[in-house]
Structure 1
């Protein structure tokens, strides 16, 4: 089980180091998946070696059992041949192989149980890596959104913090308002001047007509007072 402890330690070390830097979340996540897959390959190799050892122990266990059975067969053969001493030697050899068989079987069963645990852990690790790969794109998208939001927030903070720009903008708005007011006033004065000149012209005209009428009346009165020269 030590391979998975080493894997966990390595991944944890890489994650902590990359998270502390956190310069590029996408790069960090991609590299983390690469590290996981590399360690998965190494773990598979270790598990394969453990399986090979288990198979070797199994074969040797079965071999010891077969040898014990073979020496028992030989003992029986010796008994049938009336060679008890040879049968005893065969039985002693059978006992030796049976003892070996018991020891090998214990080791084989222990190795087999260990291999099963390794297989389960390896499968769990592979599932977690596959899950991490599925989540990677989502995490990258979330990181990009967070980065964009941070940039917007920084821009807002910078603009809000720069009061001089807003003050200058307000002053310019006031200046534009003043220019518009002055333009309206000038136009109003111009229109007023036009109206005044027009009134003066009509007043002069009216005055001119009144004077002409008065002079005409005076002339007619003067002519009435003169002697009638029509007979001349």
Structure 2
């Protein structure tokens, strides 16, 4: 099983658990990142073990090849000494060593293939983890913003704000009533400024009245003079 299929099972299991418990997205994001980090640690540990296994098998392959080469040299030596029986036995041992080397080489190839896949998946997981961390702040910010908007919507829809505004209007009407009562106490009462202003107004009116009388007297005298002159001319 690849690390991603295993990782997906873990994440899906935990996400379902979170959704069942109605946990918030911020915790879910943290959990996903934590699972990715834990998986990455496990994968790196597995990679280290696989590399160590590759080195061990490589060493065994080289050992079996060297052993096969040694038996071949022994067979040649036996033939040079006219010992076909020893040469035949040496060749049999050489065949066993060569077969063991071939088996180990097949095993080494499997290990190398798995190591390539493991390294590729590790690289992908590192990229996904870096992407998740870069998006974590944005996701949390969006979640907080949406939560705040939801609270505002709930308060608006519940009528709480309208009720509060209604109370403000009641307070304003009470203050208006109090101001009207204060103004009612001042009705009919004249301040010192009012008295002096009244005197100034009365003085102006008296002056205007005197000027008007003088003007009218002037017109009256002018009419009398004109009438006298007219009678004198007729006489």
Equivalent in the alignment of 1:152: 152
Equivalent in the alignment of 1:125: 125
Pair 3,175 (structure 1): closer, same or farther in 2 beyond 3 Å? closer
Query: Counterparts of 1:163 and 1:137 in 2: how far apart (Å)?
Result: 35
Equivalent in the alignment of 2:55: 55
Query: Counterparts of 2:133 and 2:162 in 1: how far apart (Å)?
Result: 47
Structure 2 stretches of 5 or more lacking a match?
191-235
Residue 97 (str. 1) matches residue 97 (str. 2): yes
Equivalent in the alignment of 1:38: 38
What TM-score comes out, normalization by structure 1 length? Answer: 0.67
- Report Cα offsets for 1:114-173 as digits up to 9, x if no partner: 111111112211221121111111211111211222222222223x36765555655666
Pair 153,189 (structure 1): closer, same or farther in 2 beyond 3 Å? same
Query: Counterparts of 1:41 and 1:18 in 2: how far apart (Å)?
Result: 24
Matches within 5 A, 1:52-91: 52-91=52-91
Question: 1:22–1:28: 8 Å Cα contact kept in structure 2?
Answer: no
Query: CA offset at residue 28 of structure 1?
Result: 3.4
Structure 1 stretches of 5 or more lacking a match?
192-232
Equivalent in the alignment of 1:111: 111
Query: CA offset at residue 177 of structure 1?
Result: 7.1
Query: CA offset at residue 41 of structure 1?
Result: 1.0
What TM-score comes out, normalization by structure 2 length? Answer: 0.66
Query: Counterparts of 2:4 and 2:175 in 1: how far apart (Å)?
Result: 74
> SS at 2:82's partner residue?
coil
Query: Counterparts of 2:8 and 2:51 in 1: how far apart (Å)?
Result: 22
Query: Counterparts of 1:168 and 1:102 in 2: how far apart (Å)?
Result: 92
> SS at 2:118's partner residue?
helix
RMSD: 3.2
- Number of aligned residues: 193
